[in-house]
Amino acid sequence: MPELPYSPAADRNKQPILDALTRVLAEHGTALEIASGTGQHAAWFAASMPRWTWQPTDADPRTLPALASRVEEAALPNLRQPLLLDVMSPRWPSQDAAFAEGEGEKFDAIYCANMLHIAPWATCAALMQGTARHLRSSGLLITYGPYVEDGVPTAPGNTAFDQDLRARNPAWGIRRLEDVAAEARQAGLALRERRAMPANNLLLVFGF
Ligand SMILES: C[S@@+](CC[C@H](N)C(=O)[O-])C[C@H]1O[C@@H](n2cnc3c(N)ncnc32)[C@H](O)[C@@H]1O
């Protein structure tokens, strides 16, 4: 099997995120992961939470072969084959005609790490609106990543990261938590919990 893409950050944060997920999530269910990237989180969480079925996805078709190899390597009954899913698409997953808008599978959790700052701002509304379509009424949306917050000094590392992101792509940048929560409210979701995580990241929990 070819060497799989590897993110050192995903390797560092997978256990702290898992610890938070196990506190926040029910004992079992089915999770839709948005923006799976290398699939390290998907493989770790599926292995560590055997009563959760994990559906990895990503918008970039180039990531799917490696994601599929990661799934194959993990060889877990609760880790599904990856699917193409662009949050901007009115259809989740993007490749499946059966998942028309407002239809399709409902999930107990939707998990999205490190996408909002590295994608245009419109993806935030799309994430919230898609979540409203595909999350069960008792389910949770969990986002993870860096945020800026009103009244909270931004860590110097996050300020530098934000400048770097905007230099790479003016449509990118660390999002303001209050703006993300406002987009969630537009979709009928409320910010239930804000957990401080290592390296100046936050884990946010939204529900209906
Ligand atoms: C920095 S990586 C994060 C990967 C992984 N979640 C992690 O935390 O290591 C950002 C990912 O967001 C995905 N992405 C960007 N725009 C997206 C969109 N519109 N819908 C879904 N995923 C998107 C990219 O393809 C990429 O895999």
Residue 9 alpha carbon, nearest atom of ligand 1: 9
CA of 42 to the centre of ligand 1 (A): 13
Closest to 194 measured CA to CA, from 143, 150, 154:
143
CATH homologous superfamily of 8-207 equals Vaccinia Virus protein VP39 (3.40.50.150)
CA of 35 to the centre of ligand 1 (A): 4
Distances (CA, A) of 9 to 41, 133, 176: 11, 30, 22
Domain ranges of the chain: 8-207
- C-alpha angle 121-177-44 in degrees, rounded to nearest 5: 85
Q: Tell me how far apart the alpha carbons of residues 70 and 4 are, in angstroms, rounded to a whole number.
A: 7
Decide: 13 in ligand 1 pocket, CB within 6 A: no
pTM score above 0.85: yes
pLDDT by residue for the chain (208 residues), tens digit each? 568 999 999 999 999 999 999 999 999 999 999 999 999 999 999 999 999 999 999 999 999 999 999 999 999 999 999 999 999 998 898 655 555 444 678 999 999 999 999 999 999 999 999 999 999 999 999 999 999 999 999 999 999 999 999 999 999 999 999 999 999 999 999 999 999 999 999 999 999 9
Residue 123 alpha carbon, nearest atom of ligand 1: 19
CA of 37 to the centre of ligand 1 (A): 5
Nearest CA to ligand 1 atom 15: 119
